[in-house]
């Protein structure tokens, strides 16, 4: 297996969810060789759905939607993912409390959400509820019913009135343990989300109701789409599509490229692919929509620099980063040509722009070679 530190890694506009960039800016500012848009997002910069960067859960799942993840060993996975936390307390009345999610917008009803500084400086509620601040040492330090500062290295728990977290008192110690489903996702160190799931075990797996997408998502009126798939021999394919086509067309495209799993990412005006500094999606040549998250491909020297930077910048002592570790992904190299980006090895990941609008299909590719398929033992690590 290769030990090269080239990696696929999500990039955001800033540490906190407050800044949007177009994919070209994401690629340029992070030093990525290639990049595509990734998560759905809100206009204020909040990414919707699972987002893991360098082992740190920046955001939890939305409706348990499908996620693309990369393990410590460098293998890509696509599956629907759920996350919840168990908060252990000193309270005899409530020794264990349930935490529903991390850094996601609140929904109606009783849902306990944990907010870190990735969310911003403060956690707020649109109506009176309960907010509990926990410092970096796991000690309850403050509470309010509408607005609360998020401690550096700590977090704020937010829920509706009458929630069990209201029983927590200043000075109490709490300790959170996270549970991920599927269980083998606990070694995923990079991840982006989207939806819906397109293929599972090589078969069509569209279920809009289960992932809470409107029926209109499958129609050909959406002229641009971004999607990804994993082939039967454990290679990753990233693609952008332009021109009238349905979600079923996209799923069939990945079936025709021997993918066992495939998923949709954010699309429409967000759909953009940048390779070697050049935008290869026609709709994004003149202007690009600013997005919260891009998925970047990084060369060895940049991957090392990113890791060095993250190691010296502020990192919480007690935060979600303890959930999984940090690792470089063992991709081999990026192959680039100035005019014609093409795969030179059949065992390489294909980063593709597929154009349905012309008389003949246009495909531009960059490539990243992957390690040999893992043994059953390696896949279980």
**Helices (DSSP H) in the chain: which residue ranges?**
23-30, 247-256, 300-312, 376-380
Higher-confidence residue of 375 and 79: namely 79
Q: For residue range 158-189, list pLDDT tens digits in order.
A: 999 999 999 999 999 999 999 999 999 999 99
Percent of the chain with pLDDT over 70: 75
Model confidence band, residue 267 (pLDDT cutoffs 50, 70, 90): very high
- Tokens for 163? 């929630």
5-9, 133-137, 286-290: range with lowest mean pLDDT: 5-9
Note the pLDDT of residue 109: 66
Task: State the CB neighbour count (10 A cutoff) for residue 371.
Answer: 20
Higher-confidence residue of 261 and 374: namely 261
Which residues are 37's β-sheet partners? 294
Does 364 have pLDDT greater than 80?
Answer: no
Note the pLDDT of residue 307: 53
The Cα 172–Cα 30 span in angstroms is 41
Model confidence band, residue 373 (pLDDT cutoffs 50, 70, 90): very low
Does 125 have pLDDT greater than 90?
Answer: yes
The Cα 365–Cα 337 span in angstroms is 10
Note the pLDDT of residue 181: 96
Coil, strand or helix at 275: strand
143-147, 240-244, 262-266, 321-325: range with lowest mean pLDDT: 321-325
Q: How far is CA 23 from the centre of its chain?
A: 15
Nearest to 45 by CA among 125, 150, 118: 118
- Alpha carbons within 13 angstroms on the beta-carbon side of residue 66 total 28
Nearest to 294 by CA among 65, 88, 42, 34: 34
For 117-127, b/e burial (b = at least 16 CB within 10 A) is: bbbbeebebee
Average pLDDT over residues 55-80: 93
- For the four alpha carbons of 44, 36, 265 and 280, in that order, the dihedral sign comes to positive
Note the pLDDT of residue 93: 86
Q: For residue range 186-219, list pLDDT tens digits in order.
A: 999 999 999 999 999 999 999 999 999 999 999 9
Nearest to 353 by CA among 172, 225, 199, 165: 225
The Cα 35–Cα 130 span in angstroms is 40
CA angle 244, 250, 255 (to 5 degrees): 150
Is the separation of the CB atoms in 6 and 332 below 8 Å?
A: yes
Is the separation of the CB atoms in 85 and 104 below 8 Å?
A: no
Nearest to 292 by CA among 17, 79, 4: 17
The Cα 270–Cα 40 span in angstroms is 9
User: Dihedrals φ, ψ of 169, to 5°?
Assistant: -115, 150
Higher-confidence residue of 288 and 86: namely 86
Q: What is the pTM of this model?
A: 0.81
Q: How far is CA 173 from the centre of its chain?
A: 31
126-130, 151-155, 249-253, 342-346: range with lowest mean pLDDT: 342-346
Is the separation of the CB atoms in 281 and 224 below 8 Å?
A: yes
- Tokens for 180? 């991920």
Task: State the CB neighbour count (10 A cutoff) for residue 270.
Answer: 26
Q: Establish whether the linkage from the previous residue to 196 is cis, with ω within 30° of 0.
A: yes
Coil, strand or helix at 269: helix
Note the pLDDT of residue 148: 98
Does 277 have pLDDT greater than 60?
Answer: yes
Beta strands in 45-151 (DSSP E): 47-48, 51-53, 56-59, 66-71, 76-80, 82-88, 96-99, 101-102, 113-115, 122-124, 129-134, 140-144, 147-149
Domain limits, the chain: 7-81+183-380, 83-179
Higher-confidence residue of 323 and 174: namely 174
**Level-2 CATH architecture, domain 83-179:** Sandwich (2.60)
């Amino acid at each position: 297996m290769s030990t090269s530190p080239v990696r696929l890694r999500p990039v955001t506009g800033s540490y906190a969810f407050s800044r949007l960039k177009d994919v070209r800016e994401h690629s340029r500012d992070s030093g990525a060789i290639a990049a595509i848009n990734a998560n759905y997002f809100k206009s204020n910069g909040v990414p919707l759905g699972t987002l893991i960067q360098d082992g740190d859960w920046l955001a939890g799942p939305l409706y348990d939607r499908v996620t693309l993840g990369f393990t410590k060993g460098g293998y890509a996975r696509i599956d629907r993912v759920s996350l919840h936390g168990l908060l252990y307390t000193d309270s005899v009345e409530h020794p264990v409390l349930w935490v529903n999610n991390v850094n996601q917008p609140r929904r109606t009803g009783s849902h306990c959400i944990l907010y870190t500084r990735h969310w911003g400086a403060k956690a707020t509620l649109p109506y009176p509820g309960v907010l509990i601040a926990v410092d970096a040492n796991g000690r309850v330090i403050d509470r309010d019913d509408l607005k609360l500062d998020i401690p550096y290295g700590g977090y704020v728990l937010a829920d509706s009135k009458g929630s069990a977290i209201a029983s927590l008192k200043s000075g109490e110690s709490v300790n959170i343990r996270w549970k991920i489903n599927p269980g083998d996702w606990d070694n995923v160190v990079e991840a982006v989300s989207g939806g819906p799931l397109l293929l599972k075990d090589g078969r069509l797996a569209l279920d809009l109701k289960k992932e809470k997408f409107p029926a209109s998502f499958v129609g050909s009126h959406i002229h641009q789409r971004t999607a990804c798939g994993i082939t039967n021999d454990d290679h990753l394919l990233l693609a952008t599509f332009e021109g009238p086509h349905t979600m079923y067309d996209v799923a069939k495209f990945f079936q025709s490229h021997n993918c066992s799993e495939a998923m949709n990412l954010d699309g429409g005006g967000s759909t953009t692919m940048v390779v070697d500094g050049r935008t290869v999606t026609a709709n994004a040549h003149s202007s690009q929509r600013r997005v919260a998250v891009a998925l970047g491909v990084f060369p060895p020297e940049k991957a090392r620099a990113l890791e060095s930077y993250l190691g010296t910048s502020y990192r919480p002592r007690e935060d979600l980063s303890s959930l999984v570790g940090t690792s470089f992904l063992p991709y081999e190299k990026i192959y680039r040509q100035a005019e014609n980006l093409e795969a030179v090895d059949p065992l390489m990941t294909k980063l593709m722009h597929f154009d349905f609008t012309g008389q003949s299909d246009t495909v531009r590719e960059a490539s990243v070679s992957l390690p040999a398929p893992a043994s059953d033992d390696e896949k279980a690590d």
